[in-house]
Amino acid sequence: MIPLRSNIAEMNGYLPGFQPKEPDYIKLNTNENPYPPSPSVIAAIQAEVGDSLRRYPEPASRLAREEAGRLYGFDPSWVIMANGSDELLNNLIRAFAGEGEEIAYIHPSYSYYATLAEIQGARVSTFGLTPDFRIDGLPQRYNGKLFFLTTPNAPLGFTFPLSFIGELAERCDGMLVVDEAYADFAKGNALELVRSHENVVVTRTLSKSYSLAGMRLGLAIARPEVIGALDKIRDHYNLDRLAQVAALAALHDQEYFRECVRKIRETREWFSAELRAMEYEVIPSEANFVFATPPDRNGGRLYEGLFNRRILVRYFTDPLLSHGLRISIGSREEMATTLAALREIG
Ligand SMILES: Cc1ncc(COP(=O)(O)O)c(C=O)c1O
């Protein structure tokens, strides 16, 4: 018998969205960006490929931190770069929740928090949503070590108002992690709460809005004491040389970024309106996906129908979600093809 820790032996592990080998799918299942990364990102990566790869990268990803600090209006001591925002979620649990201590998140949201807690041996508590998308049964004070709030929510796409997030931060004895993986597609964000509340951490990713899922780049904004703790925990070379130059170039090219986000939001609004005209229920989305429920409330049937037409979307068997589908926003053409397929499936 291999002497694994019992929690590792017993856990299932996280199942990421399906990544088909064949390129001919319309891929709307993992909230990737339909547009390529900025040309300046490609140029920066190409320029870095060569002899420099013999050398370790700069350990703190200093230039990328400075660029992110400038962009968001924070001193670089309030910023950390990561190998995907998943790395930050992992390290936040390692920093704040010991074995047997509790973390919480909303169900439905990003279930990877639970996997990470399981690895750590931390306990997990989940809160549901009220019909008007507030937290169901939240106690006056939440005394767990970490509360993960995904806003915009995935997979539903709505956002929590800033005043509500501020109130939640005040009701948390531990840290409030505001997972803003999709905030670039939303009207607002919670960055100002990092200044006003010492227990707030905001995490971001370059996977979605910067078209860099394949590069694995994320960042967090928090007080320097929190950033210092995360710096102690991370792999000392957590961003390789290519990732560092890619992050710097991507964050710098705001014109390209804004145009991609604008197109995705425009397509999202058009696609949502078309679905509503077909009598689907569509939750108003502030992300790069929509959660849509067909009139017969049978998400599985539609998933199959789309899959057979080589269109991949996300279907969840969870009874809270099985009535609908999460559909990432692709290009206008991809979404037109998807609408035509949905009409055909009926
Ligand atoms: C809510 C949420 N948080 C975090 C992540 C992870 O992002 P990254 O690619 O930066 O690890 C995802 C990815 O799908 C997500 O949906």
Q: What CATH code is carried by the domain that includes residue 273?
A: 3.90.1150.10
Residue 1 lies in a domain: no
Verify whether ligand 1 is closer than 6 Å to residue 180 (CB atom).
no
Residue 197 lies in a domain: yes
Assess whether 325 and 218 both reside in one domain. Answer: no
To test the pocket of ligand 1, the residue of 207, 215, 286, 329 to mutate (highest count of ligand atoms within 8 Å of its CB) is 207
CB distance 112 to 119 below 8 Å: no
Assess whether 54 and 184 both reside in one domain. Answer: yes
In degrees rounded to 5, what are phi and psi of residue 63? -65, -40
Assess whether 213 and 306 both reside in one domain. Answer: no
Residue 11 lies in a domain: yes
Assess whether 287 and 305 both reside in one domain. Answer: yes
Residue 231 lies in a domain: yes
Q: Which domain holds residue 268?
A: 6-30+255-345
Ligand 1 centroid, distance to 251 Cα (angstroms): 18
Residue 50 lies in a domain: yes
The predicted pLDDT at position 214 comes to 97
Residue 283 lies in a domain: yes
CB distance 123 to 117 below 8 Å: yes
Atom of ligand 1 nearest to the CA of 17: 14
Verify whether ligand 1 is closer than 6 Å to residue 38 (CB atom).
no
Assess whether 132 and 191 both reside in one domain. Answer: yes
The predicted pLDDT at position 19 comes to 86
Assess whether 176 and 298 both reside in one domain. Answer: no
CA angle 65, 67, 69 (to 5 degrees): 65
Ligand 1 centroid, distance to 309 Cα (angstroms): 27
Question: What global pTM score does this model have?
Answer: 0.97
End position of a domain, from candidates 187, 217, 252:
252
Residue 43 lies in a domain: yes
Assess whether 214 and 332 both reside in one domain. Answer: no
Ligand 1 centroid, distance to 181 Cα (angstroms): 6
The predicted pLDDT at position 22 comes to 85
> Helix 332-345 vs helix 299-308: angle between axes, to the nearest 10 degrees?
110
Verify whether ligand 1 is closer than 6 Å to residue 86 (CB atom).
yes
In degrees rounded to 5, what are phi and psi of residue 262? -60, -45
Assess whether 323 and 285 both reside in one domain. Answer: yes
The SS3 of residue 16 is coil
Token pair 């920093």 is found at 95
Residue 220 lies in a domain: yes
End position of a domain, from candidates 252, 280, 313:
252
DSSP 271-322: HHHHHHHTT-EE---SSSEEEEE-TT--HHHHHHHHHHTTEE-B---STTTT
Tell me the HSE value of 237 on the side-chain side, using a 13 A CA sphere: 8
Ligand 1 centroid, distance to 55 Cα (angstroms): 29
Verify whether ligand 1 is closer than 6 Å to residue 218 (CB atom).
yes
Assess whether 210 and 291 both reside in one domain. Answer: no
Assess whether 99 and 231 both reside in one domain. Answer: yes
Number of independent structural domains in the chain: 2
Assess whether 12 and 99 both reside in one domain. Answer: no
Assess whether 175 and 44 both reside in one domain. Answer: yes
End position of a domain, from candidates 252, 274, 290:
252
What's the CATH code of the domain at 131? Answer: 3.40.640.10
| Positions of the chain with pLDDT under 70 | none
DSSP 86-138: HHHHHHHHHHH--TT-EEEEESSS-THHHHHHHHHT-EEEEE-B-TTSSBTT-
Verify whether ligand 1 is closer than 6 Å to residue 194 (CB atom).
no
**Minimal CA–CA distance to 154: which of 289, 29, 32, 315?**
289
The predicted pLDDT at position 1 comes to 85
Verify whether ligand 1 is closer than 6 Å to residue 37 (CB atom).
no
